[in-house]
Amino acid sequence: MNEAAQDRPAMLVTGGGRRIGAAIARRFGEAGWHVVIHYGRSADEARTLAASLPSADIIQCDLADGRAAVAMVEHLATRLHDWRVLVNSASTFRPDDVRALDPAICATAMQVNAVTPARMAQTFLAHAKALGGRRVIQMTDQKLANPNPDFFSYTMSKHAAAASVPMLRMGGARRQDRIYALAPGAILASHDQNEAETEVSHRLNLLKRKTGANEIADACLWLAEGWLASGETLYVDSGQHLLAQPRDVIYLAREGVRP
């Protein structure tokens, strides 16, 4: 364990080596936290990011293996003396649709995006020691309020992840703990998008602007340090969830829809 961690509050972010997870890790590191960066296959990225932060460690786990994820949380709970925050950011995002659910894609999405995060949250709330209240932040999606039939299994899994939040609040947490869902909109290029497509599709929201990964990171830190009522969902999507979009923005842009 990094010696600097002993004087800092600690947090774990899953999928912290890349993309939004990396932005979250950087934001907490800049704010003085000890950051534990989980990675699946992005070892080089995780090491490079950890080396750039004042206090950070990395840890590997395949989140498709729920028992291994629980063991990882149990292990960290014995090492971190002030572990305040768990951010379940990692997810799998593969296409299938409402007419053709792919059983393998669905099983993986449910495990990685919903079941493992719920088990990690349960284990964190049962074992983590913190000087103040603990926070669980489950990353969901603006699709919860603005559904479309694309990425069908992924979207179902995010609904399942969201359903865990009020139940954990009611029965899995202590009075001083807080359980949240954070629902981003389109943030970074995803699936098979190129940059030109991203520029168009990510402005298909009420404000006609791209929402930055830094905004998601700032929201995570705000939830970690504030006292918003437990069980709430925070949307960070430039108003995308308030629209009625018949398809994923990836395909809307390809069909010629413009902001």
User: Tell me, what's the pLDDT at 259?
Assistant: 93
Query: Please, what is the average pLDDT of the chain?
Result: 96
CATH numbers and ranges of domains, the chain = 3-254 (3.40.50.720)
Q: What is the pLDDT of residue 191?
A: 82
Residue 173 in tokens: 């947490």
Express each pLDDT in 224-235 by its tens digit: 999 899 999 999
pLDDT of residue 247: 96
pTM of the model: 0.96
Torsions phi, psi for 252 (to 5 deg): -60, -45
Could you please report the per-residue DSSP string of 161-226? Answer: HHHHHHHHHHHTS-TT-EEEEEEE-S-S--TT--HHHHHHHTT-STT-SPPPHHHHHHHHHHHHHS
Q: pLDDT over 90 for what percent of the chain?
A: 92
pLDDT exceeds cutoff 60 at 179: yes
Average pLDDT over residues 60-67: 98
Instruction: Work out the end-to-end distance of the chain between its first and last CA atoms, rounded to an integer number of angstroms.
Output: 48
